[in-house]
Chains A and B, each alone.
Chain A
Amino acid sequence: MTIDEFRRLAETWGGDVERWPEPLRAEARALARSPGGTAVLAAERRLDLALGDTPVVTRRRADDVAFRVLQQIADATPRGRERVPATLPSRLRWLFPAASLAASVLLGVSLAVELPFSAAPPAAATILAMTVDSGSMASDWGLP
């Protein structure tokens, strides 16, 4: 590998030889230790740092988007078409949607009483309501 080839590779893959394609690394490591190679990598590393800048996504924001997804799925599921546990005897199956609805109502009332008011819906609580509605357990969400 010549220093020009090394420079071109650094301009492509950046200043960290360990992130270059595996077959190139052994030769590149040797050149990286030379004064010319060190300077090439240092120049590219500065750009790498700026390009690696990551937008901060808060947990709250991610939860809000997740809630919107669940809401859209729930909206697209006709009432009474929720999945019924296979273990439920067929004569009791009609109870499942009714029990699911009753659980939602109870949960909604208790949340309204217990939780402080906020303009935006509390994402964790609403997700909890969705999951109870769909027959899953609240403990699976690890909520406080």
Chain B
Amino acid sequence: MAEDEADEALVGRVAGGDRRAFGRLMERHMGLAIRVAQKVAGSAADADDIAQEAFLRVWTRAGSFDPARARFTTWLYRIVVNLAIDQRRRPAHAEIDAAGEIAASDPEPLGVLVAREERRAVDTAVAALPARQRAAVVLFHMEGLSGREAAAAMEISEKAFESLLIRGRAAVKAACRAREETVGGARDDR
């Protein structure tokens, strides 16, 4: 098996039961599956389970993959996003941990703290978005997919994707603005 064998060719081998080809696909793309699952589901613990289930589906459904219709990564994004959205819809999903914890350490420059605080605010706002808006934001901004690719991964039209993205960004901005006003107001009250 060539080191640089295309993903799509590997999926063909996987359909024939080739575990080495399957291992190579996991080696290349497991990181992608985990990080997308983590951002869309909002939980690191759930992300591992989702990525596991996604690759099990790749193993069992490789025969249905059509390289003429999509790239392997588009197919994988679709599986992961669908699983993560389903997971997110379950009522008892785990607490959002996408924003993470700030570890206690030496004092940092003010600029770094402000930037980190801004990112935490954005993370929190993204985690609060409806699942499909969040998936749109993650695929376009975090994964760097084009609008067309992201729409294909979500199995929606480009127009529908555009609508999800603009609503997602607007909601994040509004949440960050509201947070700034709350923090600013609290400071003024002191």
Contacts and interface: CB of A to CB of B under 8 A. Distances in A.
Interface of A: 8, 11-14, 19, 21, 47-48, 50-55, 57, 59, 61-66, 68-70, 72-73, 83, 127, 130-131, 134, 136-137, 140-141
Interface string B31-70: 1011100110000100010011001100100000000000
A119 B140 CA distance: 39
Interface string B140-181: 111010111000000000100010011001101100000000
Contacts, number: 103
Given A47-B172, A51-B122, A51-B137, A57 B59 contact: no
A61 B142 contact: no
B15 interface: no
7 contacts: A14-B140, A47-B173, A48-B141, A51-B126, A51-B141, A57-B38, A136-B20
A141 B23 contact: yes
Contact of A53 (B19, B31, B119): B119
Contacts of B35: 54-55, 57
A53 B170 contact: no
A134 B48 contact: no
A53 to B, nearest CB: 6
Contact of A55 (B98, B137, B140, B173): B98
B56 A69 contact: yes
Interface of B: 1, 17, 19-20, 23-24, 26-27, 30-31, 33-35, 38-39, 44, 48, 51-52, 55-56, 59, 98, 118-119, 122-123, 126, 137, 140-142, 144, 146-148, 158, 162, 165-166, 169-170, 172-173
Contacts of A61: 34, 48
B148 to A, nearest CB: 8
A137 B122 CA distance: 46
Contact of A69 (B1, B44, B59, B148): B59
Contacts of B17: 83
A131 B20 contact: yes
A72 B52 contact: yes
Contacts of B137: 51
Contacts of B172: 47, 51
B23 A55 contact: no
Nearest to A69: B55
Contact of B52 (A21, A51, A65, A141): A65
A69 B34 contact: no
A55 B26 CA distance: 18
A53 B142 contact: yes
A73 B39 CA distance: 27
Contacts of A62: 26, 30-31, 34
Contacts of A8: 166
Contacts of A63: 30
Contacts of A134: 19
A74 to B, nearest CB: 9
A77 B31 CA distance: 26
